[in-house]
Structure 1
Amino acid sequence: MGKTVVVVGATGKQGGAAAAHLLRGGWHVRAVTRNAQSPAAAALTAAGAEVVVADMDDPASLGRAFAGAHGVFSVQPAPHDPGAPMGYSTEVEVRWGRNVADAAAAAGVAHLVYASLVEAEQRTGVPSFDSKWEVERHIRSLGLPTTVLRPVTFMDGLVLSKDVLDGSFTHVLDPDTRYQLIGVDDIGAFASLVFAAPEEYVGRSLTIAGDERTPREVATVLGRALGHPVAYHQIPMDLIRRHDPGLASVFDAPPATKADVAALRVAHPGLMTFEAWLSRHGRAKLAGL
């Protein structure tokens, strides 16, 4: 295609996945980072991206990065992300998301793709959800041609604890409650797909998932991947409410719209189930625990 798409957050998980798929799709990728000397930035350069230095707290630097671009992929860290900078908060997330949108509008880009969250379709009272809702509301006020991606729970976030290696998977949901999952790599795949078909996706919000499982099923699949049984252990919600009211509020939020996984798989036939994600990405993550 040859047109330039600027990827903000390119050294992070979602931005990195978007950059990789856009490069494979033939786009010229301009990868934005605050540190061009980082290993992640070097890997982007080696993959064929143009790495530029800009800061989401510096609108002038964003304007320079967006100059002449066809599109912008925008994602901001969540406050709990390991890579979030010191002092980062939901207020900073909102400011950064607005700054990116303002710079994209000023640069006259033809398509902004914003990586939001499935729960951000309405105000929920949960700060980490409502920050993305605030960014979406600001984007709409600009009249910028936009597609909002709404990923569900990340498969990548299910394998965080060494307890899994010892045969224990924990969550707060009832063992047979069904919830949807998405591999981060597939978020990048949908970003590339959306940029390639603006006539279909501009003006839309797209909830994306690749699988739907219960916690008990997740434990079973993890056990098969590890070669030994993994049992599911539910954390009582009363315990969460006492020790982490913020986390409890996440599970008290209004239910979000579910993704139509079958329709998404028609658009993206490579969409990963949880088993497929474990086979391609999860084993390395398990080995690193």
Structure 2
Amino acid sequence: MTILVTGATGTVGRNVVEQLISRGADVRALVRDPAKADLPGKVEVVQGDLLDVDSMRSALSGVSTLFLLNAVVPEEFIQALITLSLARDAGIERVVYLSVIHSDVYVNVPHFAGKLGVERMIEQTGFNATILRPAYFMNNDVTIKDVVTGHGIYPMPIGGKGIAMIDARDIGEIAAIELVHREASSTPLPLTRINLVGPDTLTGTDVAAIWSEVLGRPIGYGGDDTAGFEQNMRQFMPGWMAYDMRLMAERFLTDGMVPEAGDVERLTALLGRPLRTYRNFAAEIATAA
């Protein structure tokens, strides 16, 4: 019985692989370049691409459970549909899919809308699946730590409605728990959706205050300028992706990314421990800087 992990070398994927190995699972990792994978020795590393049908057929052969994570790319929706169809052809019914919270609310944001379409495909085709819906990854803020520490500004335009940021390590552990649960079940388990959130719902001002406390000096919130955010993102990513991120930020401002009642308690019970906080994350980053 083998679990295939796609996106295995990314921030979440590596955590999923490590958590699965620690639970004694047989893991196969799909990577583009095995020479650069740097995964634990117990992992079966296979080369492939989600749009390469032949390589995916080979990677899915003999697999019992699939963890589907695909990056924000123009072909994301097609990648997911092809992979799930090939999984169905291979007789795989157990799936854990990494979607996004509020995919049914942020409908004008391309990568949210694409993930909602994948959720619908999973539901309508009858997969025995867990759909994980994570909020904003607090780990994304590693990329802006130099702005925070060097310029005294928290620059992400997350607004005043509140964002329930989650640590990617918690995402990886929850995904592994769900994968092992489905893998071990002798009977099909019903489709379920789980919102993945952090323990605190934070505004931009709240996050700046956390950084001020951690660093011991004033850090300000950069404000809600989503147009400026898009222009900054264009320095690091293609224009279409920067605009996608701007649209997401605009929904942060109007809707926030707020948990539903019971989400935090459900995750705490699932993990058997408290969720990691943004303050602890910021302290780790500040110590390592």
Q: Are 1:44 and 2:39 counterparts?
A: yes
Q: Are 1:217 and 2:234 counterparts?
A: no
Contact 1:123–1:133 (CA under 8 A) maintained in structure 2: no
Give 1:86's aligned residue.
none
Give 1:197's aligned residue.
181
Once the two structures are superposed, the pairs formed by residues 244-259 of structure 1 within 5 Å of their partners are: 246-253=244-251, 255=255, 258-259=259-260
Contact 1:15–1:73 (CA under 8 A) maintained in structure 2: no
- Give 5+ residue unaligned stretches, structure 2: 233-241
Contact 1:6–1:73 (CA under 8 A) maintained in structure 2: yes
Once the two structures are superposed, the pairs formed by residues 167-178 of structure 1 within 5 Å of their partners are: 167-174=152-159, 176-178=160-162
- Pick from 154, 174, 194: which aligns with 1:206? 194
Q: Which one-letter code corresponds to 2:60 in the other structure?
A: F
Once the two structures are superposed, the pairs formed by residues 44-63 of structure 1 within 5 Å of their partners are: 44-46=39-41, 48-63=42-57
CA deviation string 1:9-55 (max 9, x = no partner): 101112111111111111011011111111xx1x2143x21101111
What displacement does 1:226 show?
A: 2.9
Q: Which one-letter code corresponds to 2:217 in the other structure?
A: H
TM-score under structure 2 length normalisation: 0.82
Q: What is the percentage of aligned positions where both structures have the same residue?
A: 25
Contact 1:223–1:230 (CA under 8 A) maintained in structure 2: yes
Tell me, what secondary structure is at the counterpart of 1:114?
strand
Whole-Å separation in 2 of the counterparts to 1:194 and 1:121: 22
Query: Kindly tell me: are residues 201 and 179 of structure 1, through their superposed partners in 2, closer, same or farther at Cα, counting changes over 3 Å?
Result: farther
Q: Are 1:129 and 2:118 counterparts?
A: no
Contact 1:194–1:201 (CA under 8 A) maintained in structure 2: no
Whole-Å separation in 2 of the counterparts to 1:192 and 1:247: 28
Q: Which one-letter code corresponds to 2:259 in the other structure?
A: K
What displacement does 1:224 show?
A: 3.0
Give 1:78's aligned residue.
72
Give 2:238's aligned residue.
none
Contact 2:164–2:198 (CA under 8 A) maintained in structure 1: yes
TM-score under structure 1 length normalisation: 0.82
What displacement does 1:159 show?
A: 3.2
Number of aligned residue pairs? 267
Whichever structure has more strand as a proportion of its residues is: 1
Give 1:85's aligned residue.
none
CA deviation string 1:102-137 (max 9, x = no partner): 122112224111101113135712212111112222
Indicate the larger mover: 216-225 or 196-205: 196-205
CA deviation string 1:68-117 (max 9, x = no partner): 222110111113xxxxxxxxx1xx11111112111221122241111011
Query: Kindly tell me: are residues 105 and 123 of structure 1, through their superposed partners in 2, closer, same or farther at Cα, counting changes over 3 Å?
Result: farther
CA deviation string 1:195-242 (max 9, x = no partner): 233369740111111232222221122233334332222133576699
Query: Kindly tell me: are residues 217 and 186 of structure 1, through their superposed partners in 2, closer, same or farther at Cα, counting changes over 3 Å?
Result: same
Contact 2:198–2:276 (CA under 8 A) maintained in structure 1: yes
Whole-Å separation in 2 of the counterparts to 1:201 and 1:13: 28
Q: Which one-letter code corresponds to 1:51 in the other structure?
A: V
Indicate the larger mover: 237-246 or 220-229: 237-246
Once the two structures are superposed, the pairs formed by residues 140-289 of structure 1 within 5 Å of their partners are: 140-161=123-144, 162-166=146-150, 167-174=152-159, 176-198=160-182, 202-211=190-199, 212-236=201-225, 246-253=244-251, 255=255, 258-259=259-260, 260-268=263-271, 269-279=273-283, 282-283=285-286, 287=289
What displacement does 1:246 show?
A: 4.7
Whole-Å separation in 1 of the counterparts to 2:162 and 2:53: 42
Whole-Å separation in 1 of the counterparts to 2:229 and 2:149: 24
Give 1:82's aligned residue.
none
Whole-Å separation in 2 of the counterparts to 1:196 and 1:219: 38
Give 2:88's aligned residue.
105
- Give 5+ residue unaligned stretches, structure 1: 80-88
